[in-house]
A and B are shown apart, each in its own frame.
Chain A
Amino acid sequence: MTVETDVDLQVEIAGCTFRNPVMTASGTFGYGREFEDFVNVSRLGAVVVKGVSLLPRAGNPPPRVVETPCGMLNAIGLENVGVEAFLHEKLPWLVELGATVVVNILGNTVDEYAQLARRLDGIEGVTALEVNISCPNVKEGGVAFGTDPLMASAVTAAVRRASKLPLIIKLSPNVTDIQLMARSVAESGADAVSLINTLLGMAIDLAGRRPRLANVVGGLSGPAIKPVALRMVWQAAQAVKIPVIGIGGIMTAEDALEFIVAGAHAVQVGTANFVNPGATEEIVEGIAAYLAKQGLKSINQLRNTLIT
């Protein structure tokens, strides 16, 4: 089903125009090609690719995923092909299709983040960087950067110096004060923040009295986390002037619209891609249909319209 409407879905983030506010959440959409049978990736606001590191990473031992009520826990451990293979083997396909590409980057040290940002600076087809300072599944780097405002600030500043690309800093929900974290990265040069990454959780196999993930703990995602995500996106949007990208349990157009009403410029769709591989395009169409029905001309008219 394609809804033909004249509503304007374009959003501006960090000086870039995205054709609509629906992006894929990193780690749930591979490098785009995994979805070629299900989605026209050039119709999405952006493809945020699986996080890349300087060198390839094998990830954590299995079991890596477990289902939980209305959600899932994962401890993939940032398995990825590394930045060079990404640039040579993965990016060209996305560029050829006309997809808008945001590259998610991750490192073990501040310097690794900076090196990645430098390597990706000026590469044709890379629209923006999303800096992952919030993965709960790795021992070094990862969430350590995302839970300490000083570390988050240091990474942001280093990446800012290393690249002219627009910077989206992806925040962790595993903090006491999300507004403090958002302000901290905004003041250090972030052009936007995206949130939330997964919530740290665990599951136990009672029969064996063992953790159900080999890593013991993992990241919780899916509809179960939407209320937490919505609250944090709303709080972050109050705290900073830079655009906020909402992530967390978005399954439908209605879910996405709630985030926009709460103050998000755009949204990222994650776990829904596993449940319904066509979810992102359906959400784009659903948003257009909703706006048309409401008599709104532009998605921007809906943003931050929560009545409290």
Chain B
Amino acid sequence: MPGQFLATVEKNESLGPAICRLTILAPEIAAAGQPGQFVMLRSGRGLDPLLSRPFSLHQTFPHGRIQVLFKVLGEGTRKLAALGAGEPLGIVGPLGRGFDLAAPRAGARLGLIGGGMGVAPLFFLAREIQRRLPEFGLDVLLGARAKQELEQLLIDFGPLKIEPRVATDDGSLGHHGLVPELIEKEWGKDGKLRQVFCCGPWPMMAAVAQRCRERDWSCQVSLETMMACGFSACLGCAVAGSGQRERYFHVCKDGPVFNAADISWE
């Protein structure tokens, strides 16, 4: 059940160019949060910026800690990035519907694919898949602009005994190009059915959704939109549904994780 809490920053790490990872003491959210769910965060100082910002749960830990991972893009994230250990932080969550781990197809390998800050929820997801679905194989593809954006995350995957395949825009690490291109290279050969979980920029997810559709793989995508509240009061975070569904979904409540086939990617 979501709630509104005053949390405390425990640690603020720089993980690369303008990339921050906040460790926050928020026991209720750590206990209840699921992979793919998100929290609304506010630095709590002043009214500008006014609105909280949504961040997916990067990790939860025992002893009441959670982590979020983000890139500094505007005033809201700049204020969050400036927070020091011990400082208070307004938080609402856990919110939304996370990844659906119910009943993957028997014999399937599961594929995680993240681009940019879309890699944020995938570590938590990988850990939960290993805990809840140990019989399923797991492959991870990560994309970034450059090597520095991924180095720490690759280290974090180490204890899970997962070696993500990597694509970078500048070719400084792994495949020189876009992460959806790795689908052919890494997943195209062995014929093991994939169930794909994806998070990243819209064009990347649209490309992944299309490749999955062509292969008849199921694909869950975690969407990001501008939202004011995070719990379906403002109705601001609309995305268009596909096909016969002449309606809008609300990312905060119907998602943020959707079946890719339900979304209009145009």
Contacts and interface: CB of A to CB of B under 8 A. Distances in A.
A67 interface: yes
A277 B47 contact: no
Interface string B224-245: 0111110111111111100000
B233 to A, nearest CB: 5
A280 to B, nearest CB: 12
Contacts, number: 97
Interface string A261-303: 0000000000101111110000000000000000000000000
B3 interface: yes
A273 B50 contact: no
B59 interface: no
A28 interface: yes
Nearest to A75: B236
A65 B50 contact: no
A275 B231 CA distance: 11
Classify chain A's interface size. 20 to 34
B238 A67 contact: no
A76 B229 contact: no
Interface residues of B, number: 32
Interface in B27-81: 42, 47-52, 76
A159 to B, nearest CB: 25
A97 interface: no
Contacts of B2: 37
A222 B92 CA distance: 19
A275 B52 contact: yes
A275 B234 CA distance: 11
Contacts of A64: 226, 235-238
A69 interface: yes
Given A28-B234, A34-B233, A67 B248 contact: no
Given A58-B246, A65-B227, A76 B42 contact: no
Contact of A62 (B3, B228, B239): B239
B130 interface: no
B248 A59 contact: yes
B106 interface: no
B233 A30 contact: yes
Contacts of A28: 233-234
6 contacts: A29-B233, A37-B2, A67-B228, A76-B234, A277-B92, A278-B4
